[in-house]
Amino acid sequence: MLKNYFTIAWRNLVRNKAYTTINILGLASGMAISILISLWIWDEVSFNKSFEDAERVVKVLHNSSDGLHINTVSTLSIPAAEELKNKYAADFEHIALYRYARATISKENGDEKVIDLGFYAEPAFTDILSLRLIKGSFKGFANPSSILISEHLASVLFNTADPIGQTIKVNNELSATVIGVYQNFATNTDFNKQEFILPWSHLVTTRPWVKDAYHQWNNNSFFVLAKITKHATIAHINSKVKNLLVGKPDRDDHPEIILQPASKWHLYSEFKNGKNVGGNIQFVWMFGLIGIFVCLLACINFMNLSTARSQKRATEVGIRKTIGSPKSYLIIQFLSESILVTFLAAFLALISVWLTLPWFNALASKDIQFPLHVPVFWLAIFLFTLFTGILSGTYPALYLSSFKPIKILKGTLKAGPFTEVSRRLLVVFQFTISLSLIIGTVIVFQQIQHVKNRPLGYNQDGLISIEINTPNLRANGVYDVLRNDLLNSGYVENMAAASNTATGINNHFNGFDWPGKQPEINQGFGVSYTTHDFGNTVKWKFKEGRDFSRDFPTDSNAIILNEAAVRYMNLQHPIGTIIKYEDVPFKVIGVIQNVLMESPFEEVPPNVFMLRYMYLEAITIKIKATVNTAKALGAIESIFKKYDPASPFEYSFVDTDYADKFSFEQKIGSLATLFAGLAIFISCLGIFGLAAFMAEQRTKEIGIRKVLGATVLNLWVLLSKSFLLLVFISFCLAIPISWYIMENWLSGYDYRTSISLWVYLSAAIGVIMLTLATVSFQTIKAALVNPVKSLRSE
């Protein structure tokens, strides 16, 4: 019996090739998008879960109050970490301090040099993350001259040779012995770009400020990773340690410890006023809903086309019922057709996913692999396909099997008004979803463009950044001679150094005092240490006062504020004001326009610029506008090689670094464009099929109208207006839905665009034109048919 059902189903599909093709294409598109989204969601929700006992691995964060807001940071002081180890040893299996590192790595006697990211970490770090060693041992990792490297870095440096016991140079200052090679971190972890781990003891012995930090409770420059004991709960331990910092020296900012489990690092990374408010999880929900809706749109196509063509199947139903076929058999027959179509569509969808996955990975910045050998995946695909087939076929099966055989055989069967209304409602639902997606996508890109056009407060043209990674460039006197050589090259307009690049501030300190400061205010300021020429290199715009100058030796105790700092301090006449930092007086000599150095989507925070030739981390160079950039870079590289010959010359353009700040929003916008495009394609595919069927059903009417003098334009308007009415209703519904969703999304940004009327109008016009183009193919084709043939066929 089952074989008979599918045999008949196959014959019906082959007999109606056009409608079968439309149904399979629509379902395949919807299912392919749903599968891609499911793979993306699985990759997101499994982030940081590849660690052994990941549910027990936590980061130690903390809240602090500046008197106005509660700020959450992912760093801690060394004394706080040490107290956790000493007082709460029974609650934690391991606790480890670590810091991120960027270093030039090379073989001791080799030319192969790479700049990679890694860690400085305490020995317990490897136990917390359950690092898997491929070669070597963790024994001896406390030795400052040891190093652990990833299998990827081992292959780059040593190819197939055994790296254990080999000596490599780190920043041309440390000869480190490779004691172990660990398995690469999974791509869906926060540590997937880290290629080496240096001992914490090396950082302490080579960086005096780190040694000093062991006595500074307010120096929150370090990350802390921990693993709680078995059978303990994070909530219970968190309640015990949350007041660890209360009453400690220099911690009058109402601090509170927070333990965040590994499963939440990626998806729940945003905090506002001390409370977690989500993060990337909003996009998991958003794309999950999009996947469901897109698949539903494809199912609606199947329902509409099946019910629209009910008259074609009416005779079959009448005869089957007359000879004794029960209703349940007819339902199974029609469901078997929908399930067969769905499995054919699933086959096509899987091929599409397999072929497009590399392109999708590039679009989404992922490394998702097609789970060919994962049984659970195939079980999920089977259940998903079966569910889709039943969902799309249930309504048509119930509708077709309900026909009365007497009416069918008498020829008096007519589709009731409910059928036509339900079909139109489903079309309205399709286009409402499609229009909402299109409007949302346009607003995402409008927000990105709005922020890109934001005033920067400096000039990015011709600016390049070079990070200072080696002691050669930090050596006493090198900065001045390097700068002179660059200026004398004829290619460089100016050069400066700072504790940060032009697109980011690394240091955020409190401890500032100014006239009129309220005692409860303890705002952290972004602090940038610069050389004399930084402002002139990036072209700061001064509101008041002057820049740092070599003509004023007292500038070593001078500072420059941005507008946000002046406004926050409520300084009416800032120039000449004495501001204390850690009880050391500094004189304000200048106020600059807000310089956008951190997130472009947020308000510019209060920033302070100090003159220092210490703690310099990056060099900024302004290339002359009149010279060839390629030649200038070659000349700059040769000068840098003169002072740091062993390190590779790596630079980045400041405008490119700034553009990278939009990469996540660009990625979301690109994915939304893909999904919105396929949603409208599926909707138009359904309209195309309905228009073809409508034209077929009204062949006689069209012929009579043409005989009576109707023009092609008259017939086109007659056949198209019903579809345009449905699109107009969809547009009216999509406006409030999309406005509500996108207004909530935009509210998460401090610097945001407003939703303009043109967004809705352009989306409406675009969809109307697309609908007209889709419908017109069928309507004009029907209108051009010779009426003699039309009437003869009837």
> What digits encode the pLDDT tens for the residues 567-616?
989 899 999 999 998 889 999 999 999 999 888 888 888 999 999 888 78
- Separation of alpha carbons 691 and 719, rounded Å: 8
Burial of 347 (0-12, 13-18, 19+ CB in 10 A): middle
Question: Taken in order 629, 634, 639, 644, is the CA torsion positive or negative?
Answer: positive
Output the pTM of the full model. Answer: 0.82
The tokens describing 794, both together, are 């009837």
Query: Treating both helix axes as pointing N-terminal to C-terminal, what angle do 663-697 and 327-364 enclose, rounded to 10 degrees?
Result: 150
In sequence order, the β-bridge partners of residue 102 are: 117
DSSP annotation of 231: T
Q: Which residues contact 345 (CB under 8 A, 6 or more apart)?
A: 23, 24, 25, 26, 27, 28, 31, 298
759: enclosing H helix or E strand? helix 757-783
Q: What is the pLDDT of residue 594?
A: 92
Helices and strands, number each (H, E), in the chain: 25, 25
In this prediction, residue 317 carries a pLDDT of 59
Helix axes 478-488, 629-643, angle to 10 degrees: 150
HSE (side-chain half, CA atoms, 13 Å) at 579 = 27
pLDDT below 50 — which residues of the chain? none
Question: How do residues 642-690 score in pLDDT, each as one tens digit?
Answer: 888 877 788 899 999 888 888 888 888 888 888 888 888 888 877 777 7
* Separation of alpha carbons 563 and 595, rounded Å: 9
Distance CA 17, CA 24 (A): 10
Q: Cα 715–719–725 angle (5° rounding)?
A: 135
Cβ pair 253, 66 in contact under 8 A: yes
Cα-based distances in Å from 532 to 276, 500, 540? 41, 14, 13
Distance CA 66, CA 525 (A): 11
- For the chain, the 3-state helix, strand and coil shares in percent, each to the nearest 5, are 50, 20, 30
pLDDT at 558: 94
Task: Output b/e per residue, 181-206; b: 16+ Cβ within 10 A.
Answer: bbebbeebbebeebbbbbbbbbbbeb
> Within 10 Å of residue 268's Cβ, how many Cβ atoms?
16
- pLDDT for residue 733: 92
The structure tokens listed for 548 are 């740092």
Q: Give the closest residue to 483 by CA, choosing from 613, 361, 604, 586.
A: 613
